[in-house]
Chain A
Amino acid sequence: MSIEIEHVNKRFGHFVAVDNVSLSLPAGQLTALLGPSGSGKTTLLRIIAGLEHADSGRIRFHGEDATDVHVSRRGVGFVFQHYALFKHMTVFDNVAYGLTVKPRRLRPGKAEIRRRVMELLELVQLDWTAHRLPSQLSGGQRQRIALARALAVEPKVLLLDEPFGALDAQVRAELRRWLRRLHDDIHLTTVFVTHDQEEALEVSDRIVVMNQGRVEQEGTPEAVYDHPVNPFVFSFLGQVNLFHARVQDGQARIGDLALPMAAPDHQPEGDGLAYVRPHDIEILAEDDGQGALAAVIQGITVVGPTARLELKVAGGKDLIHAELPKTQLAPLGLSPGMKTWVRPVNSRVFVGHRNQNPPVAEPALHPRD
């Protein structure tokens, strides 16, 4: 069942949480609402669920207007960040809750409820916990129970609010792969909110990047990552280095260095900033004459298979960050304090986004919170 969001607005006092958002989420897909805290992604999800009421705009499920349908009759499944399991009920009763509160004429029989609950518990691979209390389960298990509970009422759409936010890194990675497989099995239209770009890129069919209540970009994970439409999306989807750049005659340059450009055809001319990912910076031990910036290595950190370098570009104020496989450190003979040459092999120049008083190079911090 598809979800159509039309011109939805929501304010809390003077704070604009959702600013005229229109989206169409196709049926059967797993969509990620990605953005920093306060970007309105959770509010939008709660409006879709009926937990918040939009100030204006409509929500349709498969073309049918659901804007004024009460939350208890909207037919959505919702999973909360902190599980929201009923502590005084066993796992079985939690999952059965949505069935037991149905009006008598719609309520399935005891045996039928039992069969459906056990089926769902098997689906989330936790059938052995049926008679336990939520407090006896781990975080990852609780979240799977919360998912089973949401699925018990056979919702038309499934909404997840930062479902892995409260879990530790390993469980989180495991659970999101599991969610992806589960989605491939049941094909329910699913929307999940996250501030973790890696999670969004890994799990979803579509990504909607939000910022300050607006949709910045939507598309497949590849499209959004490879062709970010603006500096916000670019810097939100990963670490970036910023360089002063100038576009002239269809060619972007940092100083004298000509940059390879992703989309040179419709690039406006003028001053701007070049965005370069750390793994798109090539490190050279010697200047090979094809143009490079002189830089001094300030520090090297090895994280697993990756080496992270901090470099100071000649004439620049701030450090830039580069990443390369650890195996390349030795052949290049890199060590702190060494003079090297750096060359961006891939970049994106946004003209007109120049700061008033910018450094030559300015690394942006990872925007994850």
Chain B
Amino acid sequence: MQLWTIRPRALRVKGVLPGFGLTMGTTLLFISLVVLLPLSALLIQAASLSPGEFWRIISSERAVATYKLTLSSALIASIFNVFFGLLLAWILTRYQFPGRSLLDAIVDLPFALPTAVAGLSLAFLFTSHGWIGQYLEPMGIQVAYTQLGIIAAMAFTSAPFVIRSVQPVLEDMEPELEEAAAILGASPWQIFQGIILPTIMPALLAGFSLALARSLGEFGAIIFIAGNMPFETEITALLIMIRLEEYNYAGAAAIASVVLAAALVMLLIINLLQGRIYRARSDS
């Protein structure tokens, strides 16, 4: 009887739309099966280690090197994509040119392409005999088998996120806002940074966080172009793979749980940041 009295009221309130209980139940079940269950399995696997062992594995020099490499590469790739994605979204929404719809379609290609194929083609381009690599190498720029290659692979696979987040917001922007600013004497740069950028900022942040999450988890594209040298060009996902191949499941799970926690914390921070921007717009 006690249970009935503490049951949250919100669940019993009859809304106009029926089926809240059914849809909510289905959704929770689905999330549990697809997302939460595998994640808990991972944590349980990692929990089979003693705290001391766990800490030793995740703080080993080799593991820490992979975190640094993965995180810094993902950040650089995502920041690059913010600029590149904004530019491409801008071109796609602001200008009419032949081949525009083709370009618009090509944008999604990194989503559809198996990442291994992307990695292979990048390696083909950037090795010392590749189309681009043969010109970069004499200039002292080595892309393949370096962090630069990892960044290139991450930037390639996460490129659509920023474009697809920003594009609809740019399309919906009233041209009058820019016209009003221009009439008031603002220069094109002042209009961009004072009017356009604040308007698209939440979308830009959303695109950045998606690109970052994707880059952190990228594996297939990277292993073909990264040299996979421990301490130098080994990403965390690869280290997990190596541990698995050694049948060291607990060790793999321990490192994976670090990646999981890092991704969670970063997405949370970005979500909070976005929420703050939205709130600042709607409240006084």
Interface residues, chain A, CB within 8 Å of chain B?
A: 49-51, 71-74, 76-78, 80, 82, 84, 86-88, 97-98, 101-102, 131-133, 135-136, 149-150, 152-153
Contacts A86-B195, A88-B199, A101-B181 known; list 19 others, CB within 8 Å: A71-B179, A76-B183, A78-B180, A84-B174, A88-B280, A88-B281, A97-B181, A97-B186, A98-B185, A101-B187, A101-B190, A132-B284, A133-B282, A133-B284, A149-B184, A150-B184, A152-B184, A153-B184, A153-B185
Interface residue B176 (Cβ < 8 Å from any Cβ of A):
yes
- Kindly identify which residue among B186, B194, B198 contacts A72, using a CB–CB cutoff of 8 Å: B186
B282 to chain A, nearest CB (A): 7
Q: Which of B183, B185, B282 interacts with A51 by CB under 8 Å?
A: B183
Closest chain B residue to A133, Cβ basis: B284
Closest to B186 in A: A101
Residues of B close to A136: CB separation below 8 A: 284
A contact face: mostly helix, strand, loop, or mixed: loop
Instruction: Answer whether A84 and B185 are a contact pair too, CB < 8 Å, given A135-B282, A136-B284.
Output: no
Our count of residue pairs bridging A and B at CB distance below 8 angstroms stands at 70
The interface residues of chain A lying within 8 Å CB-to-CB of B184 are: 72, 97-98, 101, 149-150, 152-153
Query: How far is the CB of A157 from the nearest CB of chain B, in Å?
Result: 11
Q: Which residues of A contact B199 (CB under 8 A)?
A: 87-88
Q: How far is the CB of B256 from chain A (nearest CB, A)?
A: 40
Cα-based distance from A74 to B186 in the complex (angstroms): 12
Q: How large is the interface on B (under 10, 10 to 19, 20 to 34, 35 or more residues)?
A: 20 to 34
C-alpha gap A234/B284 in the complex (Å): 50
A5 to B179, CA, bound (A): 22
Q: Which of A71, A80, A132 contacts B176 (CB 8 A)?
A: A80
Cβ-based interface call for B44 (8 A)? no
Residue numbers in B under 8 Å from A102 (CB-CB): 185
Complex interface: chain A residues within 8 A of B185 (CB): 72-73, 98, 101-102, 153
Return B43 CB to nearest CB of chain A, in Å.
41
Leading 9 A-B pairs by shortest Cβ distance: A98-B184, A84-B176, A101-B186, A84-B180, A88-B198, A78-B183, A80-B176, A101-B190, A72-B185
Q: How far is the CA of A73 from the CA of B182 in the complex (A)?
A: 9
Asked if B109 is an interface residue, CB under 8 A from chain A, the answer is no
Residues of A within 8 Å of B282, CB to CB, are 133, 135
Query: A133 — which chain B residues lie within 8 A by C-beta?
Result: 281-282, 284
Q: Which B69-91 residues have a C-beta within 8 angstroms of A?
A: none
> Does B265 have its Cβ within 8 Å of any Cβ on chain A?
no
The yes or no answer to B258 lying at the interface (CB within 8 A) is no
Which residues on A sit within 8 Å (CB–CB) of B181? Answer: 86, 97, 101
Report the separation of the CA atoms of residues A150 and B183 in the bound assembly, to the nearest whole angstrom.
Answer: 9
Give Cα A101–Cα B185 distance, bound, in whole angstroms.
Answer: 7
Q: Are B182 and A71 in contact (CB under 8 A)?
A: yes
A82 to B175, CA, bound (A): 11
CB proximity to A under 8 Å, residues B178-230:
179-187, 190, 194-195, 198-199
Q: List 24 A-B contacts (CB under 8 A).
A: A49-B183, A51-B179, A72-B183, A76-B183, A77-B183, A78-B183, A82-B174, A82-B176, A86-B177, A86-B195, A87-B281, A97-B181, A97-B184, A97-B186, A101-B181, A101-B184, A101-B185, A101-B186, A131-B284, A133-B284, A135-B281, A150-B183, A152-B184, A153-B185
